[in-house]
Structure 1
Amino acid sequence: MTRSLFSYRRRPRGMTGFLFIWFGQMLSTTATSITTFALYLWVIDKTSGGWSVGVMEFFFFSATLLVAPIAGIMVDRYSRRATMLVYDVASLAITLVILALYFFEALEAWHLYIATIVQGIGYAFQWPAYRAAISTMIPKARYVRANGMMYLLDDVPDVFSPILAGVVLGPLVGLTGILIINVFAFVISITALLITDIPPTPHTVEGENSHGAFWKELAFGFQYILKRPSLLGLQLIHLAGNFFSGIALSAAVFYPMILLRTGNNTEVLGFISSVGSLAAVIGGIVLTLWGGIKRPLHGVLWGWIISSFLGLALLGLGQGLLIWLVAVAIEAACDPLTKVSDDTILQRKVSPDLQGRVFGAQSVIAQFLIPFAPLVGGYLGDRIFEPAMQTQSALSNFFGPLVGTGPGSGMGLLIFLCGIGATLVGLSGYVLRPVRQLDDLLPDHDAVPAKSASVQKQHDADKTVKDGKKKVLTPGV
C-alpha cells in the first residue's frame, strides 16, 4: 500500500519535530511582532497619540488572562495539535481581515481593538498547549532546553522587529507588504504543525477522575495548585515578584525615570530597551545550549534574587547610562532562567493530561496583579515619590544620598524599593518549608508509587470488564 507524503513514519517527531514547530513559530512570531510594531506606528499617527496603543495592549492581555482557564480545559480535553493551531489560525484570519480593510482604506483603530482581543484569546490557547506538548514530545532531560527555545520566541522578535518594521520593511513594502509577509509566515507555521507527529496525551487515573462538568474542570487547575502548598507557594512568589517588577519596569515608571534623568532623551531610552531585549535573548540561548538545570527550584529563586537585587535595585540607584545598561542586562538575562525553571517544574511534577488546566491556572495566579502594576506605579511615582524627592521631606533626606534629589529621582527610588521587595520575595522561597522542599514533597509525575500503579491496574481491569473484553494483566507490568 502506498504511503502518503506525510505518513506516520515520515513525519518529524521527537526533538526534530519540536524543532520543525519551533522554526515555524519563530517565523510567524517575528512576522507578527513586526506587524504589531507597524500597526502601533499606524494607529499613533492615525489618532495623534499613544492612548490607542495602550488600549490595544490592555485588550490583548485581559483577553488572554480571562480565557486562560478555559483554554486549559480545552488543552486537556482535545489534541495538543488542535489547541496549538487555535492561535495561528485565528491570527491568520485576523491578519487577512486587517489587510483587506487597509487595502480598501477602511481600517479604523477600533478594528484593531477587536483584532487584539481575538489574538489574546488565541494566545491563551497557544502558550499552555505548547508548554504541555513539550512533556509528550521530548524526554524529560531536554525540558530545560526546549523551554529555553520557547522563550526565545518572545525575546528574539523584540530585538529585531522595531528595526525591521520602522527602518527596513516599512519604507520598502509599507504596511500592506508587512501584512502579506505575516500571512505567509502563518501559512508556514500552520504547515509545520500539521506535518509534525505530536504524540497523543497519555491518560492517568487522576486525569480521568478530574473530568466532569465544565465548572468542575474550570476550577480543577486552581484546586490542584491550592491542594499542593509547594506549588501554591511557588506561584505566590511569582505573583508578588511580578507585581514588584511590573511596577518597576512599567512604561509609567521606567520610561519617565530615564527620560527625566536624561532631559527627555528618547534615543537613550530606546538603546537601553534594545540592550535589555538582547540580554534576554542571550539568556535564552545559554539555557537552550546548556539545558542542564538539575534543580529548577534554585533557578526560580535565584533568578528572582539576582534579577531583583543586581537588576532592579541597581537600576533605581543608577544615575547614568553605564549603570542602567548593566542593571537592565542583568534583569533581562535572568528572566528566562526564572520562567524556564518554573515551566520545567510543572512539566515534571504534573501529569501530562492535567497540564493544560494547571498551566492555565498558574498563568492567572502568577500574573493576576500585572494589569494593576502600571496603575499603582504611575500613581505612586507621580503623586508621591517624585514630589517628595524634589522637596525637603523624610524620603529625600533619607534616600537622597542614594538616588539623588533631581527630576527622576522619585521614580528611581520607587524602582529601587521594588527591587528590594522582589529580592525579599525570592529569598522567602528558602524560608518557606513547602517551597524549599518542593522536590522532596512532590515527586515527578512519572515516578509512580506502587499504590498508584495498582490503582491504574484496577482502573484498566474495570474498564475491560465494562467493555466486555477479556484481558490478562501481567503482574509487575
Structure 2
Amino acid sequence: MDRHDKKKIIMLTDTASALCSLIVCVLLYTQRMNFYYIYIINIVLGIMEAVQSPASSVALGLIVPEDKYEKISGLSSVSENVSVVLYPMLASAMMGFWGIASVLMFDIATFLFAITVMFFFIQIPKESEPEEDEGMFDGFFGGVKFLKENKVKMLFYSAVLSFVFGDLLMAFGQNVYIWSIAGIAASLPILFTMAVQSVLIYTNVREDMQGRVFAVNNAMKFAVIPMGILLGGALSEYLFEPFVNSGTKFSSMIVQLLGF
C-alpha cells in the first residue's frame, strides 16, 4: 500500500467499482441476475473499498497542509457518515420514480466524474519511500506492530467502544425507541472518533507507514461490527431475556423503564 502511487490506486479501484455497476446493468438487462452474481460483485466492491480507503486517507494527508488536519479530518468524517444516511434515501427515491436502472446509471456517472476529476485536477505529492522491503502480508503485520508500539493503538479501543456500546444497548430489548437511542449512541461518537483518529495518524505516523496503519485500523474497526452484533444477540438470548423474565423487583423496574 505505502509503496504504490495513491492516485493510481484510487483511479483503478473506482474504475473496477464502475465496471461492477456496469456488469449489474448488463445482467439485469439480459435477465441473468442471480444471488451468486450479487455475492461476487459485492465481494469485489468490498475489496476495492478496502484498498481505496487507506489510500484515500493517506492522499488526503499529503495534499492538505499540516495546520488544516483537524478541519479536513472533521469534514471528511461528517461527509462520510452523512453519505451513509443520504445515499440509501436518494437511491430509494430514484428507484421509486425511475427504477433501479437509474440508480445504477447514476452510480456509474459518479464514478466516472470522480475518475475524471482525479485524473485531470488532483495532484498528489510523492510520499517518502518505505525504509525496508516487505512481503505480501508484511505491510499488514507491520501496521499491527506499529499500533502496538505507539500511542495510536488507542484508535482500536475507541472504535471497539463506539460500535459495541450501541450493539449492547440494543440487546436490552425490542423497543424502537431504545434502538433509536442505541443507534445515536453508537453513531455520534464515530464522527469525532474518526476525525481524531485521522489527525493522530497524520501527526504521529511516518508517511511511509500511514497506508498500512489506516488499513489495519479499518480492518479492526469493521471486524468489530459483526462481533458486536453476535455478542448483542448472545447477551440478549442468554442474559438479558432471562433477567427480564426473572420477575424480580429490579427486572420489573427495568421492564417499565425500557417499555417492554
Range of TM-score over shorter length: 0.7 to 0.9
Maintained 8 Å contact 2:175/2:259? no
Per the alignment, residue 398 of structure 1 pairs with 250
Per the alignment, residue 133 of structure 2 pairs with 211
Per the alignment, residue 60 of structure 1 pairs with none
Per the alignment, residue 201 of structure 2 pairs with 346
- Secondary structure of the 2:14 match is helix
Aligned pair 1:199/2:124, yes or no? yes
How far is 1:328 from its partner?
Answer: 5.2
Per the alignment, residue 42 of structure 2 pairs with 116
Give 1:227's aligned amino acid: E
Per the alignment, residue 371 of structure 1 pairs with 226
Change in Cα spacing, 1:104 to 1:211, as seen in structure 2 (3 Å) is same
Maintained 8 Å contact 2:9/2:55? yes
How far is 1:241 from its partner?
Answer: 0.9
Note the 1:386-425 alignment, pairs <5 A.
386-392=241-247, 396-404=248-256, 408=260
Aligned pair 1:231/2:231, yes or no? no
Per the alignment, residue 83 of structure 1 pairs with 9
Pairs aligned (count): 260
Give 1:190's aligned amino acid: I
How far is 1:249 from its partner?
Answer: 6.5
Note the 1:26-37 alignment, pairs <5 A.
none
| CA distance in structure 1 between the aligned counterparts of 2:139 and 2:186, rounded to whole angstroms | 37
Deviates more, 1:92-101 or 1:373-382: 373-382
Per the alignment, residue 248 of structure 1 pairs with 168
Per the alignment, residue 22 of structure 2 pairs with 96
Change in Cα spacing, 1:148 to 1:236, as seen in structure 2 (3 Å) is closer
Greater radius of gyration (CA): 1
Q: Deviations over 1:94-121 (max 9, x none)?
A: 0000000001111112211111100100
Give 1:77's aligned amino acid: R
Per the alignment, residue 69 of structure 1 pairs with none
| CA distance in structure 1 between the aligned counterparts of 2:104 and 2:28, rounded to whole angstroms | 10
Per the alignment, residue 187 of structure 1 pairs with 112
Note the 1:17-416 alignment, pairs <5 A.
74=1, 76-166=2-92, 168-203=93-128, 207-228=129-150, 230-232=151-153, 234-238=154-158, 240-242=160-162, 244-245=164-165, 247-248=167-168, 253=171, 257-259=174-176, 315=178, 329=184, 332-392=187-247, 396-404=248-256, 408=260
Q: Percent identity?
A: 22
| CA distance in structure 2 between the aligned counterparts of 1:237 and 1:122, rounded to whole angstroms | 26
TM-score (norm 1): 0.50
How far is 1:334 from its partner?
Answer: 3.1
How far is 1:404 from its partner?
Answer: 2.5
Change in Cα spacing, 1:368 to 1:162, as seen in structure 2 (3 Å) is closer
| CA distance in structure 2 between the aligned counterparts of 1:154 and 1:107, rounded to whole angstroms | 30
TM-score (norm 2): 0.87
Maintained 8 Å contact 2:77/2:192? no
Change in Cα spacing, 1:86 to 1:399, as seen in structure 2 (3 Å) is farther
Task: Structure 1: state its 5+ residue gaps.
Answer: 1-73, 260-271, 273-314, 317-323, 409-477
Maintained 8 Å contact 1:211/1:217? no
Task: Structure 2: state its 5+ residue gaps.
Answer: none
What is the RMSD computed on CA atoms of the aligned residues? 2.7
Give 1:401's aligned amino acid: M
Maintained 8 Å contact 1:247/1:374? yes
| CA distance in structure 2 between the aligned counterparts of 1:240 and 1:155, rounded to whole angstroms | 17
Q: Which structure is richer in relative contact order (CA contacts within 8 A, separation 6 or more)? A: 2
- Secondary structure of the 2:174 match is helix
Q: Deviations over 1:6-31 (max 9, x none)?
A: xxxxxxxxxxxxxxxxxxxxxxxxxx
- Secondary structure of the 2:175 match is helix
Maintained 8 Å contact 1:389/1:406? no
- Secondary structure of the 1:404 match is helix
How far is 1:342 from its partner?
Answer: 1.1
| CA distance in structure 1 between the aligned counterparts of 2:12 and 2:75, rounded to whole angstroms | 21
Maintained 8 Å contact 1:134/1:143? no
Maintained 8 Å contact 1:91/1:122? yes
Q: Deviations over 1:60-86 (max 9, x none)?
A: xxxxxxxxxxxxxx2x11111012223
